[in-house]
Structures are given as C-alpha cells and as structure tokens.
Structure 1
Amino acid sequence: MNDTTSATPHDDNINQTFIAPVAKKIPHEMRIHNDTRIDDYYWMRDDSRTDPEIIAHLNAENSYTDAVMAHTKALQQTLFDELKGRIVKDDNTVPVKQGSYYYSSEVSGDNEYPISVRATDFAGTDKQVLLDLNQLASEHDYYDVSSLSISLNENLLAYGEDTVSRRIYTIKIKDLTTGQYLADEITGTSGSVAWQNDNQAFYYIHKDPQTLLGYQVYRHRLGTPQADDQLIFEETDPTFYTSIGKSKDNSLIYIWHSSTETSAVSFIDANDANAQAISFLDREVGLEYSISKLDNWFYILTNYKAVNFRLMKVATTDIGNKDHWQDVIPAQEGAMLEDYEIFNDYLVYQQRENGLTRITVRDLHTQQQQQLQFNDEAFTLYLYGNKEIDTDKLRLYYSSMTTPGTHYDFNLSDGSKVVLKQAQVLGDFDASNYRSERIMVPARDGKSVPVSLVYRKDCFKKDGTNPLYQYGYGSYGAIIDPSFSSTRLSLLDRGFVYAIAHIRGSEMLGRPWYDDGKKLTKQNTFNDFIDVTRSLVEQGYGAKDKIFAVGGSAGGLLMGAIINQAPELYCGVAAHVPFVDIVTTMLDESIPLTTNEYDEWGNPNHKEYYDYMLSYSPYDNITAHNYPHLLVTTGLHDSQVQYFEPMKWVAKLRDVKTNDNRLLFKVDMEAGHGGASGRFKALHEDALEYAFFIDLLAEQK
C-alpha cells in the first residue's frame, strides 16, 4: 500500500507561472433554423493537417503541458515503470484453431509489437512465423495491422496495413509457402478481406477518403490491377456501415449492412468465381438481424418483435420472408440475447440479465441445456475464437475487477472446463488484497444505475476520505463490463476507489437502457453519471473534494457535459479524444462518419434535434464559471473525432473559464483515435493521466 501523495516530488518550480497558448479569434457565423452561432475557433480545422499555424499551436500546447507537468516527471517515470513492470515481457495469446492450424501471437522482451505465428498443434511444436510486426513497424512512428485472413488452401495471408492511424488500410498478400509478397497491393480499404474458395480472388471494402466510410465491396483477382477489380456491392445510404465476413463452413461471404437502428445481410457464394450478392431479406427500418449458416438452415439473431432480441431460424430455401422464421430462443423480458455460437451438434447462447452475463449450452439433438457457473459478484464473460463448426470445445474468456483475464476451453459434451491460461501479473499482486462490489445507485428519475467498484482493502475506509476515480461512456449501446486491469493497480495501491458507472446509453440493462440514453433522451446519460458521483460521495466511497472523472470519445462528450452541468463535483477530469463539438460536426456531412451517427444523436438538420443537441453540446455550453482541473488528449490523425474538436474546446475554455485550475492539452502528433501504437508506448499516456490526478491530490495537502 502506497500513500496517495508519497510518490509526488515537489520542488521550487511547482509554483512557477507558465504562459498557456492563447488562440486567435476569427468569428465564423453558422446559421440554421433561424438560429445563429458564432464560432471563434472554426479556423482550426485543416483536413490536410499541414497548416503551419495550426501545427505550431498544437506544438505550443504540448510544450505548455510538458512545462506544467515537468515537476511530475519523476512520478510519471515511476508510474510508467510500475505499469510496465507488471507486464510479462515474453508472452503469447492462447492458440485458436482454424482449419489445419492453431493461430496465435507472441511478444518478447521490450518489443512493442507481436509476432503472428501458427502451428499444427496447440503446443506449437512446428511453429511458423506469419508476420513480425516489429520488423514491419520499424520505419514508422505509427503502425497497425488489421485482422489476418488466410486463404482456404492455407497458403496465402492477406492483411491490411495502416501507417498513419486514419484507419485506411493497404491490403498486402504474403505467400506462406515462399515467404514472399505478391505484387498485389490494394489501397484505400477498411482492411477486411474474405477469400474466395478458389484461392485466386478475395473480397474487400473500399473507403471514401473524405468521409472514411466503407461503402463499396470489390472482388480482386490475384495478378490483376486494382483498377480492374469488380464492384459487387455499393452502399448508397450514407447512414449505413458496410463490413464483410465468412461463414464457419466457408460456403458464403457475408456483407453486413449496419446502422444504429437497422441492419441487414447480403451474401455471396464463395465457391462461384462470378457470384453476385444476394439479399437475405429486404431492409426494414428498425429491424435488426444477423445470420449464421448451419447445413440447410440460417440462424437469425434479431429484434423482430423482441426488444431484447431473440434467436430464430429459417430454411435456406425460405429466405426473404419473415413468415417462415421459427423461434429457437424466444424473447425473454428482462434478459437480452447478446451473442451465440452454432456448431454441428450444439448451440451456445449468451444473455444478460440485471447487468450480469450468463452462457447456456444446448444439445441440438436432445435439446438438453446447461448453464455455465462463475462466482464473482460482477464480471466479464464472453465467447471468442470459436471458428470451427465441427467441434465439442467452446472457447471462453472470463475476468473480474479482481481476477486477471482467464481463458477456458469448455467441453460441450461433458460440461467440464479447462483453464488454458490466466494472465500473469508480475510484482507483488495478490488478488485477496482487493475487493470488488456491484451496487445500484438511484438516479433522479427513480431508475437504478449499476455501478462496479474495486478498491484495495487495506487502503479503503467507507468514511468519505478516499480519492475516487469514476469512469463512464454511455453511448452506442456499448457495455463497459467490469474486468481486470493491471494498470489500474497503480491507483488502487495509492488509495483510489475505482468506479465504473453503467449509465444509460449502454445496454448494461438491456436495449431499453440504451434507448433511454440516446437522441432525445441523451440527457439521462449525463444525469446518471452526475447522480452516481453524488451517491458515491454520500455513501462514503469517495471524498467530495477528491473526485476524478474520466471518459474518452463519446465518453469525452460525457466529460464535457458534466463539467458544464456540475463542475463543482469534480477536482479533476481527463477527457480523451473527446467528441465535444457535436452540433457543428453533425451538421457537416463531409466530416468522417457523421451520417452514420444520426440514429445515435439525432440529425440536427431537423430543428427538434438541433435544439436538443444544442442544449447539452459541451462546446456550445461553455460558460463563465469555475471548471475542474482538466487534462485533454487527442491524436492529430484521429479518424473518429477530428483533432480540431478538442483543440477548439480547449481554446474556448481558456478564454471563458473563471478560475486558474489547470487546463492541459496533450496531442500525439503521430497517432489517431486509439492513441499510440505498441504495447509499452501507450503506457506513457496512462502515466501522464495518473500523475495529473495524483499531483492534484498532493497539492491539497
């Protein structure tokens, strides 16, 4: 156990005055619905990311942050060493069987990136290196590879490469029999590849370079120019995302059509070199479904007459008509059907009830069922790596806030399970030193919000004296399950209580919990987070003057809203890649991904949504009041939330806020939405955030 402040160095420079960058103002008028907004910092947008004045200002922000945080340099290094010191340097993922091989990845020493390998047995006795990402990344500041795709004959490897962090990938093909690369390079893609079964062609998705929307599916025949690729499908509705995959039996290529509230599927015969896409069912607004194929049946996960989804099936001869759909797992009130896996002899399905996951196995011949059992009060549990259709083994991942990630193989025939691996935490970690809780907190409208908590037992007293780190997201239905983090130990060992607020806008309590936190009910997301903070303080989990809030992307929007609406509750806030200029962005269809977001936030071209979004938009609601200490981070090449949103937000906050609390802006000039690439480099970002908070606590002494 470490004292909260003992690791914080202080010197004569801590009170030194640093001059924050001041941005110029150029009024830009925006008018719609008889309403006029003036944006003094609109000039900060540069899609080319080359404007010298903008680059200079971002560099000045970085220099200012470095100067203000210079007295914590030793603390940041201590934290980084702690975080890195818990990570096993020589490690590997659990091999996953696909076809004739077991696929996995390995990391070693101080290498930032993994090596992808395969072998003909689980033990890896005849291991073959597929890709060494350390070699591939050696000449790049940023490097990312999309998922690997193996041809049916298992001789060709396709993958996408991104060296900018804009999530636009160039597909490359490696001959695994010779180790040489084919001349084929396909640019401007999403990185996803699905092979045709003749091993001579593959399907991929082309992205619009401006909006970054993947909207065209092409077939590329090896040895031919990209210009000759055949267009198989083009999405004309810009509110839909397009993705591709392949059926477990390798007979079909799936094209997934997805928007926030509507989804559909088309498929291509993987055995036909000239196949065209066939629609599984005509799109219907509000109908969501996905499919899997088993023999002559399609299994369908859908919200058809089922708010929390159900599983149905239809014969392959009866596609195109919902009247032929048959129930497999009927809709259950209060239990959301999240996922399933279909095998030749078994059906496995995952449900969530009261925020907790359960997995059930059904024998398709006897219809007998068994439910998997785990003991933690709150946990993360999901299916992964189940790529074989003819097997009696099920791969699972399990974790809790006190249990490191554990990989199981579950025997579907006899119900036994084998631990394949549990993540090792180096150092003096002992799970018995920590406790996790799951509580329900009343929101102002009477709803109960789940909260997951973890703390170190010998550091915690439920008397309102501990610092509290509260994390939230609350958008897109995304569920932040309570899972283990070795990084988090550096906070817990310094006396922090860590809380995840499972606020509305997620699907923690099913689809209605999501629906009640988007579009015209979005304010519930912010209210829930604020109400959780107040309740945790009232219950003694955190000291009222030691509350820290953190969120990223849409969670950054959450941070922007709460510091406008309840700034007095928070000592410090970290907003990572924050989506804070929501109205301006959602009115501009040229900004990447805007049109796909209308069903999440609303379309401000319609006055009802414009007025509502404007009522909570973090950028538009900055007012002259005292704000908490604030750390904002972004990446220059962010493809999801453009760098200029947080840049403008910081500039306006500096101009308007009425106190001298720290406002720091850190920009990774080489990275994008996901931050730095590499397993160790990214830890510097965590160390900076933790040092920012710990230093604020030290100043209270």
Structure 2
Amino acid sequence: MSQKNIQPPVARKTPHHMLLHGVSRTDDYYWMRDDERQNPEVIAHLQAENAYTESEFAPRSNLQQVLFDELTSRLQKDESSVPYQWQQHWYGSKYIADAEYPLLVRSATYDGPSQCMLDTNLRAADQEFYSLAGAAVSPDETLLVFAEDTIGRRIYRAHVKDLQSNTLLSDRLEGLDSAPVWANDNLHLFYIAKDEQTLLGNRVYRHRLGSPQSADVLVYQELDESFYLSLGKTLDGSHLVLTQESTVTSEVSLLDANQPLTQFISVLAREVGHEYSVYKLGEQLYILTNWQANNFRLMQVPLALSADKQNWQEVIAHEPTTRIEDVLLLQHHLIIQNRHNGHPSIDVHPLNGQASYSLEFDDAAYVVGIDVNAQQTSQRLRIYYSSMTTPETIYEYDLNHANHRVLLKQQVVVGDFNHERYQSERLLITARDGVQVPVSLVYRRDYSNQMSLNPLYVYGYGAYGYTIEPDFSSSVLSLLDRGFIYAIAHVRGGEMLGRDWYDAGRLLNKQHTFNDFVDVTKGLVALGYGHQDKVVAAGGSAGGLLMGAVINQAPDLYHAVAAHVPFVDIVTTMLDESIPLTTNEYDEWGNPNDKQYFDYMLSYSPYDQVKAQDYPHLLVTTGFHDSQVQYFEPAKWVAKLREYKTDNHQLLFHIDMDAGHGGKSGRYQQYQDTAREYAFFIDLLGLNPCGV
C-alpha cells in the first residue's frame, strides 16, 4: 500500500525527568520543543514525518485530488456577501474567479457599482499563509484600518489605507492581538498588543495617526494573566467597549468615543464567577448577566448607575432550560437569541409594549443566529439560518410584521445538489451515568434502508462552552454521497444544553466529555446508524484532546481517527506559564500546581496515558506556527505512540510548515486538509474500489 523504502521516523529518546506532588514523570521527547522554531534536528524530524506521510499517501494521491476537485467544485466562483448598510454606504465582501482571498467592497446603494477598498489577494501575494484579522472603516468613511498575519501565529500587523487616494498611510502597528478600533475623531485608533512570550493580549494602546508606534499611549494593562482582552464599539458608535474576560469571570469598561484622550471606566468591577456583557441604547445599558442566573438573564440600568447591581432592573428573567446566547438592541426592538433544550430560537420584543413573538423554523436540527445588523435605528432584522440539509440562508425580517421575512441569499452549492436527497435527525442517546446526550446526524435518504452496514463518522469537541452547530457543510456531501452517516456528538463541555452542560464537562468533570463521546458512538451503532467495524472519528484542538483520550480509553471502538492540532500534553503544558495562553486555561482544565487537579488531569492526559495496546489508524495534523496548541505536543505524542502501540495500523503525521492553528488560509487551499482526511478514511474503509 505504501512505498516501503520510507520507514516511520523513530525519534531520539532523551529522558527529561519531572517531579511534582510526589509523582515522577519522564518525557523522552521533551527535546522536540523549540520555541524559536530553528533547531535543525527538530525541523529534520518533522520533515521526515512529512516525507513518511507523503509516501503512505502516494497510493491515495488520485483519490485525494478527486476529493479536492470535488470539494472546491461546489463553491460558487463569484461569491458575494449580502451588503449591509452603515453610515452612507453598503458594505460587503466578494470572491472573484479562482481567487483565494476576498475583496472588501462598498457601494453607494444596495446593488450599485462597488468600490474595492482592499484586495486581500494582493496583500497575500507571495505569502504561503495569509489571514485578515479584521478591518474597520473610520466614522467619516474615508479611512480603512486592517490587520493581517502572514505567519500563522495570530500576531497581527495593522495598516491604514486612505480610501479616497487608494494609498497606505505611513502608520504601521506591530504585535497586535486583533484589528484596531476607531475613535470618533477619525484620528485615534485603539488596539490590543500581545505579549511576545505568552501571546496574551494584555495591553491597550491609543495611537494617533501620523505618529510612530513608539509614541503610542498605554491606556490599560491587564495584570491578571488568566484574562483575555477584546475591543469593540457600541452599536450606536458612542463608546469603545473593552471586555476583560477569563473562563468564568468578565468585566466590561467603556470609553467615550468622542473623547479619545479620556480613560476606560468599568461598568461593574469584576467578581469571580460573574460574567456579563453590555448593550447600550441612549443613556440606558442592557446587561446580559449570570448573576443569580446560571443560564443568564437580561437587566436594565441607567449608564451612570451601573456600578451597583442593586440598581439593575430585570427585563428578561432566567429560565433553567433556556440559555440566552446573544442580544441585539435596536431603537424600537429588543432581539434575544436563545437555546432551549438545545434548540436555538430568536425572540423579538417590541420596546413599545406590544406582544413579543418568536421567529419560526422547521428543521429537526438547525442553527439560527443574529447576522450583521449595523444600524441601531433599523426596523429590520437580519438573521442567518442553516441546517444539516439547508445551505446557509440570510433572511431579513420586517420587525413591525411578525414573521414577515424576505430571502436575501442562500449559499449556492454548484453541481447537482438537491437537499431532498438528505435526511437530518436529532437524537438523544443515554450515557453510562443516565444523562441523555444530544446527537445531530445527517445521511442520504437512499441509503437509509441499509444504514447498519454503512460507515459512521462521529465528530466532537466538548470544551470552552463552545457548541458545534448542526449547520450545513458542502464538504460533508462528499462523505454522505459515499454512504457515510455523519454525526455530531454534543458532549458535555460544550453548551448545547446550557451552562450546566458546560460545567458538567470541565475541571473535575472532564471525564464526562470522553464518556459521552464513547457512549454516543456505541449508542449510534446499537441503533443501527453505522456498522461497528466502519466507525471513524475526528476532532481538532480541544477536540483533538478528546480524540486522544478516547483512543486511550476505548481504542477498539474506532477503525480510524483524525486528530487535528490536538491538545494532548495537557499536564506539562498547563504547568508551564511561559507557553502561550496557558494561564487563561486554569478555569477550563484546572491548575495542575494543585494536586487535586494534577492527579485528575494526569488520569486522562492523552500523552501521559499512551500505553502498550492496539490503536486505530491515526492521522494527526498540526501547524508549525500554531499559537494555540504548540506543534511539539502532537509531535511528541506521535513519537510516543510509535514507541508503544502494538498494532500494524497506520500512524501518519502531517505538519504544515507554513500554517498555524487553523491550517491553510486560502478559500480553496483549506480544502487540501479536508481532502487529506477524507481520503484517509475512505481508502481505509475500502470505499475506493476504482483506485481513484
């Protein structure tokens, strides 16, 4: 099957001893860590892994190319977003021909001729990697600030462009966490700077156009390394919003955008365990808070009185089975995005006292959310909608007429796609402790009479309260059309069933995440959704940790597994505060300097729990410049798996030497990663009888 002249790389073993809480650990592959990414031996080892993987994939090269062509052929070449109005223009983005990156455009009318503000293809020219963090037009609409990354470490450089002369200003801001935000004088920009070692965005600076970055003024510094910072602006444009946020605690500060030389003022001082966000209308603040409300409630308070919670008045009460996820505050309507028992919904509350109502949808499993609504005075609402059988759709609602909507756009799937060929379902599968775990799945209707014989693909994540939505993916069609049943296991650690669902899968409850995934897999097979010998699984980042734990604990359940940018060396990483982003993770995983957390994390750590046993076929991927999960975690894991595993199954490791956490950056290039994974699974399952 492979070119036998290339053997799996065997990594050098050099014992690195660690002792903590009376527990001695030896890491033979610790030497693979190279923070400078210049060590010739490390680079040579990674290149050897890539060469081996390439040789093993050689028999699949035709299949991989067929899949890549298939995946990209479904994309509409000239793809445009739905324009939205802000100030005096309509803004949007579009792809042209075979371009990898979008054009940022605007026009004077909804469907009028457009001005190209920024062609990111020109910015990405000659770059192996390119990512636009964001772009913002100045309040007078004459300038554009944008931030970009050409390495993959999510460290951005910002430029300012004059939209009238179509030239770049001299301003160049280095080391940013995200795109800057404009003050209302069109002269000052605020941005978050990253710490070079930890990669935490921990300082906010004010920049005056035309001055060097060295002259920028520090206006806020976060001293608690467990907090992230983010910058935005209120919908009415009156204030800059600085959010200081850890896993379970947040604080919001405001700065008058018309007085940029002033300071940020806290809305409410942070309290451990209290999370809140703010929305402004006139002199009133609406505050989404978990104060005495685990699934959040909405409060209202005059801006000047916000610092005392006793002044807050309840607007939307807490409901134990309904998580309030988002709020849009318009001049005449309050829009609430909820999730009730796992089902998303959007409620409209007129502010004139008229009856509220909910938007109506039909699919068994779907995703709906608030789209771009850039003008607070608008009496129209844009939402996005999708299901596992419905491509992303943008609707606009007339808020003065309940459920009166206009279809603005639906994603075009090029080719012979017909949504009626596919069936989606939402199931509840009982885990070993009696808790019911939601599962979203989709398959082709014409395979439904033989589903127990079909391959089953199970995807999972289960961390940070992040919900993997049951939305449409044109890529998944390549699996469904080959007979796969595609399932998303909404395991604990996500927030599909509200905040309690998240808390039940973090810290000392993390094992629930792994148990849920295993039990969902077993449950699906028992119900006839797939054959027990044809089960594959995939996950990335924290979902890669999930894959690593699952194959240690239930290796015989899966024929093949793909672990992308996997967070697998959790104990060693969380003990090293110099590794980027570590300190912000303590409330998610625990601080292993505390013995209770150390013992618990060690019990499931994929790297530490590798043992002499048979493992599934494995495809592991990483990016050499990954800022979230450092490349050496999967590199060490693969080396240790090669040492311990007792099977003859494939273990392939692909390192993208030009990418970071998100993989390849281009619109088409990103599908190379998907095609590789799909080819791996399809070939191993014998679903490529023609050898293409």
The 5-angstrom pairing of residues 199-348 of structure 1 reads: 199-348=186-335
2:36 maps to what in 1?
48
Question: What's 1:405 paired with?
Answer: 392
Q: 2: distance between equivalents of 1:57 and 1:15?
A: 19
Amino acid at match of 1:503: V
1:168 matched to 2:155? The reply is yes
SS in 2 for 1:74: helix
Residue 15 of structure 1 and its aligned partner are, at CA, apart by 8.0
Asked whether the 8 Å contact 1:459–1:494 carries over to 2, the reply is no
Cα deviations by residue, 1:195-253 (Å, 9 ceiling, x for unpaired): 11111111000100111100000100111111111111000000000010011111101
Shift of 1:405: 0.6
Where do 4+ consecutive residues of structure 1 move more than 2 Å?
Answer: 13-18, 459-463
- 1:620, 1:375 → 2: CA distance? 46
> Counterpart of 1:34?
22
How is 1:435-474 mapped onto 2 (pairs within 5 angstroms)? 435-461=423-449, 464-474=452-462
Correspondence 1:614 to 2:602: yes
Q: Which amino acid aligns with 1:484?
A: F
Paired amino acid for 1:461: N
- Separation in 2 of the partners of 1:144 and 1:81? 23
- Which residue number corresponds to residue 6 of structure 1? none
Deviations 1:420-458 (A, max 9, x none): 000011111111110000000000000000000100111
Residue identity opposite 2:206 in structure 1:
R
Check whether the contact 2:3–2:55 (CA below 8 A) recurs between aligned residues.
no
CA shift, 1:699, in A, is 8.4
The size of the alignment, in residue pairs, is 688
- The separation in 1 between residues aligned to 2:305 and 2:451, in whole angstroms, is 63
| 1:185 and 2:172 are equivalent in the alignment | yes
Is 2:483 the counterpart of 1:495? Answer: yes
Asked if 2 retains the 8 angstrom alpha-carbon contact of 1:462 and 1:541, the reply is no
Structure 2 residue 537 is the aligned partner of structure 1 residue 553: no
Q: Distance in 2 between matches of 1:466 and 1:397?
A: 32
Within the alignment, does 1:62 sit opposite 2:11 as a pair?
no
Q: Is residue 539 of structure 1 aligned with residue 527 of structure 2?
A: yes
Residue 514 of structure 2 is aligned to residue 514 of structure 1: no
Which residue among 480, 500, 514 is the counterpart of 2:468? 480
| Aligned mates of 1:150, 1:636 — CA distance in 2 | 33
Q: CA deviation at 1:191?
A: 2.3
| 8 A contact 2:251–2:276 mirrored in 1 | yes
1:451 alignment partner, SS class: strand
Quote the residue 1:676 is aligned against.
664
Which runs of 5 or more structure 1 residues have no equivalent in the other structure? 1-12
User: Separation in 1 of the partners of 2:564 and 2:336?
Assistant: 34
Q: In the aligned structure 1, how far is the partner of 2:483 from the partner of 2:261?
A: 63
SS in 2 for 1:166: coil
Q: What TM-score do the two structures reach when normalised by structure 2?
A: 0.98
Post-superposition shift, 1:36? 1.1
The residue type paired with residue 278 of structure 1 is I
- Residue aligned with 1:178, SS: coil
Distance of aligned partners of 1:92 and 1:446 in 2 relative to their CA distance in 1, 3 Å threshold: same
User: How far does the alpha carbon of each residue in 1:226-282 deviate from its partner, in whole angstroms, 9 at most, with x for none?
Assistant: 111111100000000001001111110110001000011011111113211111111
Q: How far apart, CA to CA, are the structure 1 residues paired with 2:212 and 2:66?
A: 52
Indicate conservation of the 8 Å contact 1:20/1:61, yes or no: yes
The 5 Å alignment of 1:644-655 reads 644-655=632-643
SS at match of 1:573: strand
* Aligned AA (2:248): E
Structure 1 Cα separation of the partners of residues 668 and 444 of structure 2: 25
Aligned residue in 1 for 2:382: 395
Q: Tell me what 2:345 maps to.
A: 358
Deviates more, 1:674-683 or 1:459-468: 459-468
- Contact 2:537/2:547 (<8 A) preserved: yes
Which of 608, 614, 622 matches 1:634?
622
Counterpart CA distance in 2 for 1:435 and 1:542 is 15
CA distance, structure 2, for counterparts of residue 485 and residue 32 of structure 1: 45
1:312-344 deviation per Cα after TM superposition (whole angstroms, max 9, x unaligned): 010122121000000010101211111110011
Distance 1:562 1:578 in 2: 13
Residues 98-142 of structure 1 deviation map (CA, whole Å, 9 limit, x = unaligned) = 21111111111111111110112111x131101001111012111
SS at match of 1:62: helix
Query: Which of 579, 586, 589 matches 1:598?
Result: 586
> Partner of 1:692 in structure 2?
680
Secondary structure at the counterpart of residue 460 of structure 1? helix
1:14 shift after superposition:
4.8
Report the alpha carbon displacement of residue 510 of structure 1 after superposing the two structures with TM: 0.5
Letter of the structure 1 residue corresponding to residue 68 of structure 2: F
Q: Work out whether 1:370 is the aligned partner of 2:357.
A: yes
Cα displacement (A) at 1:459: 2.2
RMSD of aligned C-alpha atoms? 1.1
* 1:657-677 deviation digits (Å, cap 9, x = unpaired): 001100000010000000001
User: More displaced, 499-508 or 362-371?
Assistant: 362-371
Which amino acid in 1 is paired with 2:268? Answer: L
CA–CA distance in structure 2, aligned partners of residues 248 and 505 of structure 1:
31
CA distance in 2, matches of 1:191, 1:99: 23
2:407 counterpart residue number = 419
- CA drift of 1:18 comes to 4.0
Rounded to whole Å, the distance in 2 between the matches of 1:83 and 1:699 is 17
Contact kept in structure 1, 2:482 and 2:687, CA below 8 Å: no
Q: Return the match for 1:81 from 56, 69, 86.
A: 69
TM-score, normalised with respect to structure 1: 0.97
Letter matched to residue 534 of structure 1: K
CA distance in 1, matches of 2:530, 2:183: 57
- 1:467 touches 1:542 (CA, 8 Å); kept in 2? yes
Distance in 1 between residues matched to 2:102 and 2:181, nearest whole Å: 23
Q: Secondary structure of 2:449's partner? A: coil
Instruction: Render the CA deviation track for 1:49-105: whole Å, top value 9, x for unaligned.
Output: 111111111111111001011001110111111101111111111112221111111
Is the 8 Å Cα contact of residues 382 and 396 (structure 2) preserved in structure 1? yes
User: What SS is found at the alignment partner of 2:522?
Assistant: helix
Cα pair 1:460 1:495 within 8 Å, conserved: no
Aligned-partner residue type, residue 656 of structure 1: Y
Aligned to 1:649, the other structure's residue is in SS state helix
Q: Is the 8 A contact 2:135 2:144 kept in 1?
A: yes
Amino-acid identity (%): 54
Deviation at 1:700, TM superposition (A): 11
Mapped to 1, the partners of 2:551 and 2:351 lie a distance apart of 53
Shift of 1:192: 2.3
Q: Distance in 1 between matches of 2:553 and 2:20?
A: 25
Q: 2:303 & 2:561 partners in 1: Cα distance?
A: 53
User: What CA deviation, in whole Å up to 9, does each residue of 1:618-663 have, x standing for no partner?
Assistant: 0000000000000000000000000000000000000000011000
Q: For residues 164 and 699 of structure 1, what CA distance do their matches in structure 2 show? A: 37
In 1: Cα distance, 2:521 partner to 2:639 partner: 27
Unpaired runs of 5+ residues, structure 2, are none
Distance in 2 (CA, whole Å) between partners of 1:327 and 1:77 is: 57
Q: Match for residue 7 of structure 1?
A: none
* Conservation of the 8 A alpha-carbon contact between 2:569 and 2:605: yes
